[in-house]
């Protein structure tokens, strides 16, 4: 146990006693608690109803502040102008340390967002229309998000590492009118050709979709007359005034696609009012953010972490948020720490996978920088292993900075289980205790019953709604109910396994479904399988996760080839490249094992449990294999596995 440093608690928004008091209030009377905290936003028309939610299967309906009217961009920009117009809103740190940083004040942010909003209007984007954003980590990504919010359009960001196919699917599923991209994106000294990816994607989309191009590097790209638009040019000629459209609290702010255990990625829909209340409140309390602090979250705006904790949370709080275009290892493994020193970062938020990869490069990359400005360190995306926690604590934090290990999901909008740095004693590897208003429960996976004992293990579910919760799956409310509310009636099911210790601390043990977590990125094994079987030489494929030193989990593929196809190393390479291009670099298989047959039940269901064990090199505990149609395939798979070492 690492107790809260007394001097930290004294200055924090919340200490241990206040946490107890506020938590009790939040669950005893959610209506009163969230009614009060909803006031952290500026409302054009105040709400009279706070909470109207049901988790009842078949009727799931989630509404917060349902008659309130507000504008998210107003809350992130305009309301700050009178008091902090000249304060830096966004620090932009480019890929190359030799390119000067940009310090974008709230006044400048207002100017840019208004112009961008007018550009969108000029392209025919109306309230409720979807806008796909396929941009690197540049200020224009934030301008685009806020410009959508300003005019009531719904953005859907597609991570710039996704392939043209993945981009096309998301443009089509969301029915977007416009896609915003950039010419090329510098990352780690190399350049990704975003515009040409976009060109490839748009071949599979309606020819009405407009392509707004941010000329970021000035690299040459193709240009389709009548379809492609130079955003920066239009922004220069647009008016810097664009009124904020009054939006209902329940109007969707954005759709973000995420992987599940089955089918294609689903569009997670977030609201305007409840989402912003929750994102801003968690940002303030989890990081103990104070006026004037410089805050840095290293995520990409393509993931929910970037939405809530680079853009919406920090800006709603009038904060200074850092956007970093580059990678942790360029020009060398000291870049994170160089940037922390350069901009005197106070709160630093990153993923365990980044910490593990930097750990391996040695301490010197850290210790040569002055990190004394850092007050709080954060972790997100996967369980943090004790070695990484200790290194983060000792080498980066010098033993003086509380580490907030935040457990949450794309679906939850904001932190669910997390320490508050001034309130919660830490245990390395535990996301500790719930945020205000969050009622976690452990369920017995077979009976579905709540487990009452404090020390227990089960599947993690949430008992009642919180304002940041997703509202639906875009265009498919049935799928929303089916995915999250059908297995365990009356609860929101997270898909995670979890242990609770005798002190009531929660320890996430990983997904219990067919979702894997690769470097903090979520991947449906089904998606990788369908990419593999789309290859002409592949008959069948089964994909599982296996422990990987750096990535947390790696992607392990069992592939059965068509009858007459030779299994060669060249083909293995070809399949790796194939999956990369079908989905994106983050889905590249780590291991491909040729499988003459897959272990199936007599009804034809692949027994993944067995495949997971074999991938883990754990042959002793395969469990009952007698129900297999052909148990001998297991021996063959084990033999092949052992031959590979």
Report the C-alpha gap between 165 and 31 in whole angstroms: 44
382 interacts with ligand WT7 by CB under 6 A: yes
Residue matched to tokens 């089918």: 263
| Cα 494–Cα 323–Cα 8 angle in degrees, nearest 5 | 70
- 511 is an interface residue for ligand WT7 by CB under 6 A: yes
User: Distance between CA 98 and CA 335 in Å, rounded?
Assistant: 12
Find the binder of ligand WT7 among 30, 152, 381, 440 (CB under 6 A): 381
Q: Is 365 helix (H, G, I), strand (E, B) or coil?
A: helix
Q: Which of 373, 409, 482, 581 binds ligand WT7 (CB under 6 A)?
A: 409
Tell me if 95 sits within 8 A of 187, measured CB to CB.
Answer: yes
Q: What is the rounded CA–CA span in Å between residue 198 and residue 179?
A: 8
Residue 93 · residue 218 · CB < 8 Å:
no
Nearer to ligand WT7, 23 or 407 (CB): 407
Asked if residue 519 belongs to a known ligand binding site, the reply is yes
Asked if 407 touches ligand WT7 (CB under 6 A), the answer is yes
SS3 371: coil
Q: Candidates 80-88, 183-191, 488-496, 542-550 — which segment interacts with ligand WT7 by CB under 6 A?
A: 488-496
Sequential DSSP letters for 518-570: ETTEEEEHHHHHHHHHTSTTEEEEEEEEEEETTTEEEEEEEEEEPTT----HH
Unique residue bearing structure tokens 């709604």: 465
- Minimum Å distance from CB 214 to ligand WT7? 26
| Residue 35 exposed, middle or buried by CB count within 10 Å (0-12, 13-18, 19+) | middle
Least distance between ligand WT7 and beta carbon 520 (Å): 6
Write the interaction track for ligand WT7 spanning residues 291-310; mark x where CB under 6 A is met and - where it is not.
------------xxx-----
Give min distance, CB of 380 to ligand WT7, in A: 5
Instruction: For residue 353, state whether it binds ligand WT7 (rule: CB under 6 A).
Output: no
Instruction: Flag whether 564 is marked binding.
Output: no
Pick from 90, 116, 281, 380 the residue near ligand WT7 by CB under 6 A.
380
Which positions from 427 to 446 touch ligand WT7 by CB under 6 A, shown as an x/- string?
----x---------------
Between helices 525-533 and 569-582, what is the axis angle to 10°? 120
Closer by beta carbon to ligand WT7, 172 or else 409: 409
- Distance in Å, CB of 470 to ligand WT7, minimum: 10
- Taking a C-beta distance cutoff of 8 angstroms, is the pair 418, 406 a contact? yes
279 binding ligand WT7? (CB under 6 A): no
| Rounded Cα distance, 348 and 376, in Å | 6
- 383 scored as a contact of ligand WT7 (CB under 6 A): yes
190 is in an annotated binding site: yes
The residue among 198, 201, 214 whose CA lies nearest residue 140 is 214
- Our finding on whether 495 is near ligand WT7 (CB under 6 A) is yes
Total residues at interface with ligand WT7 (CB under 6 A): 22
CA nearest to 263, candidates 437, 513, 70: 513
Closest distance to ligand WT7 from the beta carbon of 301 (Å): 13
Among 508, 531, 586, 595, indicate the residue that binds ligand WT7 (CB under 6 A): 508
Residue 595 lies near ligand WT7 (rule: CB under 6 A)? no
Q: Positive or negative CA dihedral for 615, 265, 205, 125?
A: negative
Tell whether residue 168 is a contact of ligand WT7 (CB under 6 A).
no
Longest dimension (CA), the chain: 74
Shortest CB 375 distance to ligand WT7, Å: 20
Answer yes or no: is 326 a known binding residue: no
3-state secondary structure of 604: coil
Q: Are 267 and 257 in contact (CB under 8 A)?
A: yes
Q: Which is nearer to ligand WT7, 84 or 511 (CB)?
A: 511
Q: How far is CA 623 from CA 339, 603, 634, in A?
A: 50, 19, 12
Q: Which is nearer to ligand WT7, 409 or 482 (CB)?
A: 409
Q: How many angstroms separate the CA atoms of 471 and 423, rounded? A: 31
For ligand WT7, which stretch binds (CB under 6 A), given 65-73, 204-212, 331-339, 407-415? 407-415
Say if residue 321 carries a ligand binding annotation: no
Q: How far is the CB of 330 from ligand WT7 (least distance, A)?
A: 23
Interface with ligand WT7 (CB under 6 A):
258, 303-305, 380-383, 405-410, 431, 494-496, 508, 511, 517, 522
Binding positions for CoA: 187-190, 305, 519, 580
What residues form the annotated binding site for Mg(2+)?
533, 535, 538
């Amino acid at each position: 146990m690492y107790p809260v440093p007394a001097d930290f608690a004294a200055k924090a928004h919340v200490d241990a006693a206040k946490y107890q008091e506020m938590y009790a209030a939040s669950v005893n009377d959610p209506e009163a608690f969230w009614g009060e905290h909803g006031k952290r936003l500026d409302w054009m028309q105040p709400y009279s109803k706070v909470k109207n939610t049901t988790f009842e299967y078949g009727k799931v309906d989630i509404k917060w502040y349902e008659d309130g009217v507000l504008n998210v961009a107003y809350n992130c920009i305009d309301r700050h102008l009178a008091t902090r117009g000249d304060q830096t809103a966004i620090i932009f740190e480019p890929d190359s340390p030799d390119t000067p940083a940009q310090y974008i004040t709230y006044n400048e942010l207002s100017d840019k967002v208004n112009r961008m909003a007018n550009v969108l209007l000029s392209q025919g984007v109306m309230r409720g229309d979807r806008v796909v954003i396929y941009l690197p980590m540049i200020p224009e990504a934030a301008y685009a998000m806020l410009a959508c919010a300003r005019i009531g359009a719904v953005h859907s960001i597609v991570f710039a590492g996704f392939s043209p196919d993945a981009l096309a699917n998301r443009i089509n599923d969301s029915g977007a009118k416009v896609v915003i991209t950039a010419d090329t994106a510098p990352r780690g000294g190399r350049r990704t050709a975003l515009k040409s990816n976009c060109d490839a994607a748009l071949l599979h989309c309606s020819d009405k979709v407009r392509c707004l191009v941010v000329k970021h590097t000035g690299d040459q790209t193709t240009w389709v007359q009548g379809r492609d638009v130079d955003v920066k040019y239009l922004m220069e000629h647009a008016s810097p005034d664009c009124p904020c459209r009054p939006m209902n609290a329940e109007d969707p702010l954005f759709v973000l696609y995420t992987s599940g255990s089955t089918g294609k990625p689903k569009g997670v829909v977030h609201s305007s009012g409840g989402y912003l209340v929750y994102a801003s409140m968690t940002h303030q309390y989890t990081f103990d953010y104070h006026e004037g602090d410089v805050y840095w979250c290293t995520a990409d705006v393509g993931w929910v972490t970037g939405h809530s904790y680079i853009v919406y949370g920090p800006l709603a709080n009038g904060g200074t948020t850092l956007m970093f275009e580059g990678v942790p290892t360029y020009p060398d493994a000291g870049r994170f720490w160089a940037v922390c020193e350069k901009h005197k970062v106070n709160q630093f938020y990153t993923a365990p996978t980044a910490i593990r990869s930097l750990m391996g490069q040695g301490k010197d990359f850290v210790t040569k920088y002055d990190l004394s400005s850092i007050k709080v360190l954060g972790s997100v995306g996967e369980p943090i292993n004790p070695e990484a926690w200790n290194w983060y604590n000792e080498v980066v934090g010098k033993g003086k900075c509380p580490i907030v290990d935040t457990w949450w999901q794309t679906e939850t909008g904001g932190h669910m289980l997390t320490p508050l740095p001034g309130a919660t004693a830490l245990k390395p590897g535990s996301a500790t205790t719930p945020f205000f208003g969050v009622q976690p429960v452990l369920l017995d996976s077979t009976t579905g019953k709540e487990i009452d004992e404090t020390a227990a293990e089960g599947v993690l579910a949430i008992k009642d709604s919180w304002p940041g919760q997703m509202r639906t799956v875009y265009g498919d409310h049935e799928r929303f109910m089916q995915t999250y509310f059908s297995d365990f009636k009356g609860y929101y099911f997270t898909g995670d396994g979890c242990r609770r210790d005798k002190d009531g601390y929660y320890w996430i043990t990983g997904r219990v479904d067919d979702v894997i977590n690769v470097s903090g990125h979520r991947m449906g094994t089904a998606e990788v399988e369908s990419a593999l079987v789309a290859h002409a030489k592949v008959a069948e494929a089964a994909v599982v996760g296996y422990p990987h030193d750096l990535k947390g989990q790696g992607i392990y593929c069992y592939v059965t080839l068509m009858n007459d196809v030779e299994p060669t190393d060249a083909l293995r390479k070809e399949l790796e490249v194939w999956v990369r291009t079908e989905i994106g670099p983050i889905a590249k298989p780590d291991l491909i094992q040729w499988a003459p047959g897959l272990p199936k039940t007599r009804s034809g269901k692949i027994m993944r449990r067995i495949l997971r064990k074999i991938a883990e090199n754990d042959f002793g505990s395969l469990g009952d294999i007698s129900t297999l149609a052909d148990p001998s395939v297991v021996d063959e798979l084990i033999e092949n596995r052992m031959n590979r070492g």
